[in-house]
Amino acid sequence: MASAAVLEEISRELKIDRKGQPFGKVLWEKKIKEGPGSTPRTKHLYQRCRWAHTAGGEYVREDIKVSLERARLYTEGHKANAGELPIVIRAKCLEHYLKNCSIYIQDEELIVGSHNEYPDRLELFPEGGAKNMMDYLEDDTVTPPELYDEGVKMVEYWKQWSLSSRCERYFDPESLEKLSTGVIGEVPVWAHFYTSTTPTYQSVLEDGLEKRIKWCEDNIKNARDKVKTFPWRGEENFPLFEKIDVWEAMIISARAVIGWARKYSRLAKIIAENLDLSDSVGGAGQRKKELLEIADICARVPAEPAHGFRDAVQSKWFCFVVAQNIERYCSGYSQLEDDLLWPYYKASVIDKTAQPISREEAVELIECERLKVCERTVTKGRWMRIIHPGINDLHILSIGGLDENGNDMCTDLTDVILEAALNIHTNEPSIAFKYSPKCSEKTRRLVYECISQGFGFPSIKNHEKNFKHSMEYHGWPPEVAARWALVLCMAPGVTGRRSTQHSRNEGGSGIVGPAVGTLALSDGFDAWFSNKQCGAHTGDASKFTWEDLLKAVEEQIKHNSQLMFMNKEITSYAENKWLESPFLAMMDDWNVEDGVGAFQRYNKPYTNTWADYYPGPMGVIDDLAAIKYWVFDKKKYTMGQLLEALKANWQGHEEMRQEFLSAPKFGNDDDYVDEIANWFFNVSCDVWAAHKMVGWEKGATIVPQSVSAFVTLGSMIGAEPFGRRHGEPLHDGGCSPYMGLDKKGPTAVLKSVSKLPNERIKGIQLNQRLPVGLMRESEKGFDVWSAYMKTWHDLKCDHVQFNVVRTEDMRSAQKEPEKWEHLIVRIAGYSARFISLSKMAQDAVIARTEQELG
């Protein structure tokens, strides 16, 4: 389709009358004038959306409060079943909760299902441990005083049973202390109870839970028949007893989920048939019809296979609520949504063979889904809340890409998902686009229009690069590798019916990138935040040669990553033994076939062992380049003088700081520093590969990225040799140049990035800022951006995401936030409402270099 025709079609679908104006400009003005939402329903739902995001670790809306319903019911369930096997206890706790929990349906909703007692309520997870529970209970801005004593009693009860207590016993005190500082890496899962997963929705949508229950029952029957077979075979039969327990736990969980979904069916029917609906946006008659349809859908799914689009969206939502909000809190919204839902969309919208609906109704349903995500309240630990300002959670779905034969996987549903995002203007869920030049022009145009509206998403991942990496480094077969979706911000994971990533302990967690450089200069001692020996002893840096310095950095990488991988595997062991998720397991074909829990990783068909640097380590590269330049090449300063200046946080050494700032910097296509970057990442990849996690002999792969940690962890990382002072923001992303220090334009940035060993790196985050005038207000924006993307793709870069926002708009939003509630910016890995960011984070976004294209 020619470009003009594509634009006409999109304009028609989005009801944009361009009158010769650039599309993006007209859409922006329409949004300002009419507000988000393509229908009266979604306009209403947007206006009353219960945003649940945090800023500075605190919930922005005062209405967000703690409830103890989940904690109470899980505690009751645990007490009543304490003699059972751990996985059966987990299933019975879920059953007890789903049987007795409150439910609610909000006005105008088309998708139902929630994880909390009332809207705006935070549910707690006492089985995680005392730290996170107490942090919430002692915060009287969220916990009503009447709940405090009951909550403390629960903490006492769970002390001996919690994930924290199960894990801490395996650490020596020194390692425990180092991990707890937060300086060298992510705070452990058992401390902040933060994890992530990719539920295998496809199996539930295709089979329905009743069929999967039958599968488990057959497995139990076969196992019982096997052990009766003459003659006795102990080696074969012994493992079957544990599998029987797992299958029974799966059955309990799945039956409970079906029953819980049917509670919604019952409620919808009661409302439709008994209660006043006269104030509904579409009128009482219309709302009654909708509620009866909801009742019908919830009676059938997820028990039965989904037939049409409404079934599929509802079934997926129910599974998400249970697997990621009730059974366990899990971050993310991981799925390849267009591929997953396409058969149901096709049946309903195109073929009209099941639940026939119009394309506009499908767009509205996706808008409703986006709003539902924006209302999700989560209770992750404070360290995580602090590095995720402006959002509820890291909600990122993936779309696009090519199949294993190189055919475009973009469909009309891909375009519907993007059009819904354009209409409803929410920052969550973020979207990752699996970019290939072979993807349809209409889809690429819609991706561009979302970016030009300033959403910061879709973030772009190179499909071909990630397809190849998934096959070569993880061993996934082509048909699996082609259907990757991001697990959280940056790392591809398996989708489909089997062997997806279930825990952050398989793929995730990370070490703080800049710390491996600063600790190498201080013999591993952190004098800036914890005042503790966090890193390895690597000697007195004042006596270092250049080679000594590189060796010390490498030792710090090894030391910190060793602690991280040890912690991941200890937590994984404890989760599998004590804190299983039987419903998540029941969704996955491999777990049902083999009768193993969700966190089992031995003999897993497709593994995904990776970990982050976050924030990214580019500060180390600029630090090393500045030291090499001024200390070892120019010999103007000694290492001793540099360490004195750093100890003084550069105070009294401004002239020297300016010289170190002027040393070669990454992002300017300068081999002097780019070669150091290449060395650093190759060493890091070697170290990661040396760590062999359970289930994968090739070792782990690396994902440098930052979320908002580049701002919030600035207070933990001391002064850096490249010129940064303690407390100032760190490098953002995984390979973004430092703000304002990339001076040679966007192509030079891409060329520097292309010199990294990208083929070895699983994902590496690049943030770029582009001008509003070109992207939103110019007819040539799409062509210029497409040329940029061609260069990016030709250079085999992994990732890029864009901010398209005016400095003056951000300044205005700082002064009058109430007028700029709609302003969204890209942080790094996710998009946030600008007004919810800290002043420091806002300033860091403003300070990013605005690249000129064309």
Binding site for another protein (CB under 8 A): 48-50, 63, 99-100, 102-107, 118-120, 255-256, 258-259, 262-263, 266-267, 270-271, 274-276, 279
Closest to another protein by CB, 274 or 405: 274
210-217 long-range contacts, Cβ below 8 Å, gap at least 24? 210/258, 210/303, 210/304, 211/305, 212/250, 212/254, 212/586, 212/587, 212/592, 213/250, 213/251, 213/254, 213/255, 215/592, 216/247, 216/248, 216/250, 216/251, 216/254, 216/586, 216/592, 217/247, 217/251
Closest to another protein by CB, 112 or 511: 112
Query: Quick one: which H or E segment has residue 306?
Result: none
Distance (Å, rounded) from C-alpha 661 to C-alpha 77?
59
Least Å distance, CB 318 to another protein, is: 14
Helices in 725-838 by DSSP H: which ranges?
A: 746-754, 772-775, 781-794, 807-815
CA 812 to chain CA centroid, nearest Å: 30
Helices in 492-581 by DSSP H: which ranges?
A: 515-518, 546-578
Distance (Å, rounded) from C-alpha 364 to C-alpha 424?
9
Least Å distance, CB 300 to another protein, is: 14
Closest to another protein by CB, 279 or 697: 279
DSSP one-letter string for 31-46: HHHH-S-SSHHHHHHH
Least Å distance, CB 258 to another protein, is: 7
Closest to another protein by CB, 31 or 262: 262
Closest to another protein by CB, 258 or 313: 258
Tell whether the torsion through CA atoms of 586, 590, 595 and 598 is positive or negative. negative
Least Å distance, CB 631 to another protein, is: 59
Distance (Å, rounded) from C-alpha 32 to C-alpha 774?
20
Distance (Å, rounded) from C-alpha 78 to C-alpha 72?
10
Closest to another protein by CB, 106 or 662: 106
Closest to another protein by CB, 46 or 610: 46
For residue 854 the two structure tokens come to: 């064309």
Closest to another protein by CB, 214 or 266: 266
Residues paired with residue 140 on neighbouring β-strands, in sequence order:
none
User: Which of 216, 299, 214 minimizes the C-alpha distance to 250?
Assistant: 216
Least Å distance, CB 41 to another protein, is: 12
Q: What are the CA-CA distances from residue 379 to residues 124, 243, 430, 581 (Å)?
A: 7, 32, 20, 18
Distance (Å, rounded) from C-alpha 350 to C-alpha 364?
16
Distance (Å, rounded) from C-alpha 99 to C-alpha 666?
57
Distance (Å, rounded) from C-alpha 600 to C-alpha 506?
10
Q: Give the pairing of strands 525-526 and 532-533.
A: antiparallel
Least Å distance, CB 61 to another protein, is: 9
CA 770 to chain CA centroid, nearest Å: 24
Closest to another protein by CB, 107 or 670: 107
Closest to another protein by CB, 86 or 119: 119
Least Å distance, CB 55 to another protein, is: 19
Least Å distance, CB 270 to another protein, is: 5
Least Å distance, CB 37 to another protein, is: 15
The answer to whether 510 and 613 are in contact (CB under 8 A) is yes
User: Which of 162, 143, 159 minimizes the C-alpha distance to 68?
Assistant: 143
- Residue for token digits 């500045």? 626
> Residue by residue, what is the 3-state secondary structure of 338-350?
HHHHHHHHHHHHH
Least Å distance, CB 833 to another protein, is: 17
Distance (Å, rounded) from C-alpha 563 to C-alpha 182?
12
Give helix 654-661 / helix 639-647 axis angle, nearest 10°: 110
Least Å distance, CB 114 to another protein, is: 10
Closest to another protein by CB, 104 or 632: 104
- Respond yes or no on whether the N-terminal peptide bond of residue 615 is cis (omega within 30° of 0): yes
Closest to another protein by CB, 94 or 564: 94
Q: Give the pairing of strands 492-493 and 485-486.
A: antiparallel
Closest to another protein by CB, 279 or 818: 279
Least Å distance, CB 272 to another protein, is: 10
Distance (Å, rounded) from C-alpha 457 to C-alpha 129?
35
Least Å distance, CB 222 to another protein, is: 27
Closest to another protein by CB, 254 or 487: 254
Least Å distance, CB 263 to another protein, is: 7
Query: What is the three-class DSSP state of 704?
Result: strand
The answer to whether 395 and 373 are in contact (CB under 8 A) is yes
Closest to another protein by CB, 106 or 222: 106
Least Å distance, CB 121 to another protein, is: 11
For residue 343 the two structure tokens come to: 């058969």
Least Å distance, CB 81 to another protein, is: 18
For residue 150 the two structure tokens come to: 């009951």
Burial class of residue 8 in the structure, from the number of CB atoms within 10 Å of its CB (0-12 exposed, 13-18 middle, 19+ buried): middle
Least Å distance, CB 45 to another protein, is: 9
Closest to another protein by CB, 119 or 695: 119
Closest to another protein by CB, 160 or 274: 274
Give helix 546-578 / helix 173-180 axis angle, nearest 10°: 100
